[in-house]
Structure 1
Amino acid sequence: MNNYSDFVYLAVKRYMRNTGVSSVYLAKRLHMERGTFYARMGGRRKWTIEDLHRLAALGVDIPLPRVKQVSHV
């Protein structure tokens, strides 16, 4: 796992496996072209905040990004 998109990819794959929905169905529900969906899943395009909100609204368990803790001086 190198970046946040990898975690989103795994969450979406898990959702698809658990619910039995296809990538075509999910792309339609996300209001995006199949090619765009595949590019996001393949890491060639980044997920947008709107995408993440739509995924969460569908029931995909979106992981929270890791944030570096900053020490206060």
Structure 2
Amino acid sequence: MARAICFYTLAKWENNKLHVELPENIDKQSPTMTLIYDENGQLLWAQRDVPWLMKMIQPDWLKSNGFHEIESGC
């Protein structure tokens, strides 16, 4: 079974403002959660308000690009 993995550029910094543009069909492909942090680890933007999930983000994850999995218990 083939699995497609898509990457998106979701945000850009322009004129001292953060601009977030989500593709129209991003939620149709698979459940997503996007969090954008600054270089100091401060949350700048969240696609959804899911406090329990935000608390599970490991600080080391913010030091490099990539995807991380979190067990939801569902």
Answer whether TM exceeds 0.5 for this pair. Answer: no
- Higher relative CO (Cα under 8 Å, sequence separation at least 6) belongs to 1
Which is helix-richer, 1 or 2? 1
Please give the TM-score of this superposition, normalised by the length of structure 1: 0.26
Which is strand-richer, 1 or 2? 2
